[in-house]
């Protein structure tokens, strides 16, 4: 489907700070004749895992909802992305390197993994795996001192006690004297 949109102007954006998962390449003014409307600061972005995407303009001040938005995989966004990419290329914008198939597969897997919902323990708030019973048991080592009754001379019983409490035999012998 082709939409009757016109790109009225474009500024190349070279000061991307790299803090986002995508890189902003250009800002454009898009005119939609049927609505008699001009959209300012429509962003053409690129990321290795999604390629080129046209983002709707955002508010200069922080708002809980965007002023205008569209589905970035929809027909309108794809058509607008192609027009912005064509204009960007004709203006001499530096095209990013396309990843290889192997890199693309790895990036897609990483994105899917990052988008998975995280399960948390309802009491502690700690992240848990797929099954809470598969989590490793926490082990704490506490130094201990043993006092054995002076009449107990059965070495085998003392060694059994040491094995039961996971104390090394030499350390138990040193402590017990």
Distance between CA atoms of residues 25 and 92, nearest Å:
12
Distance between CA atoms of residues 106 and 160, nearest Å:
53
Q: What is the pLDDT of residues 7-49, one digit of tens each?
A: 999 999 887 777 777 888 999 999 999 889 999 989 999 887 7
Residue whose C-alpha is closest to residue 7's, from 67, 71, 93, 101: 93
Distance between CA atoms of residues 86 and 93, nearest Å:
10
Query: 0.75 exceeded by the pTM?
Result: no
Dihedral of CA atoms 82, 116, 102, 16 in degrees, nearest 10, equals 50
Give the pLDDT confidence score for residue 146 in this predicted structure: 65
| Domain coordinates in residue numbering, the chain | 6-115, 140-177
Cβ distance 79 to 1 under 8 Å?
Answer: yes
Paired residues of 120 in beta bridges: 127
Give the pLDDT confidence score for residue 97 in this predicted structure: 77
More confident residue, 99 or 22: 22
Q: Would you say residue 132 has pLDDT above 60?
A: no
pLDDT averaged over every residue in the chain: 78
Looking at residues 54-66, what average pLDDT do you find? 77
Q: Would you say residue 107 has pLDDT above 80?
A: no
More confident residue, 49 or 62: 49
Residues 92, 74, 6, 14: is their CA dihedral positive or negative?
Answer: negative
Sorting pLDDT into bands at 50, 70 and 90, what band is 104? confident
Asked which of 10-24, 33-47, 85-99, 107-121 is least confident by mean pLDDT, the reply is 107-121
Q: Which residue's entry shows tokens 């046209």? A: 54
Cβ distance 169 to 176 under 8 Å?
Answer: no
How far CA 17 is from CA of 13, 31, 66, 85, 106, in Å, comes to 11, 28, 22, 21, 24
Asked which of 38-42, 87-91, 99-103, 115-119 is least confident by mean pLDDT, the reply is 115-119
User: Which tokens sit at 42?
Assistant: 């429509």
């Amino acid at each position: 489907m082709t939409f009757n949109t016109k790109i009225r102007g474009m500024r190349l954006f070279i000061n991307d700070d790299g803090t986002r998962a995508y890189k902003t390449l250009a800002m454009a003014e898009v005119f939609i004749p049927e609505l008699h409307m001009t959209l300012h600061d429509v962003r053409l972005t690129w990321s290795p895992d999604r390629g080129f995407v046209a983002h709707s303009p955002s508010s200069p001040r922080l708002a809980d909802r965007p002023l205008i938005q569209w589905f970035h995989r929809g027909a309108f966004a794809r058509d607008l992305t192609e027009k912005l990419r064509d204009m960007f290329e004709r203006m001499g914008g530096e095209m990013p390197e396309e990843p290889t198939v192997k890199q693309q597969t790895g990036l897609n897997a990483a994105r899917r993994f990052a988008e998975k919902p995280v399960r948390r323990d309802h009491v502690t708030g700690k992240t848990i795996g797929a099954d809470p019973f598969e989590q490793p048991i926490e082990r704490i080592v506490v130094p201990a001192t043993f006092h054995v009754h002076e009449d107990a001379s059965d070495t085998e019983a003392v060694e059994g006690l040491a094995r039961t409490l996971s104390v090394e035999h030499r350390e138990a012998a040193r402590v017990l004297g």
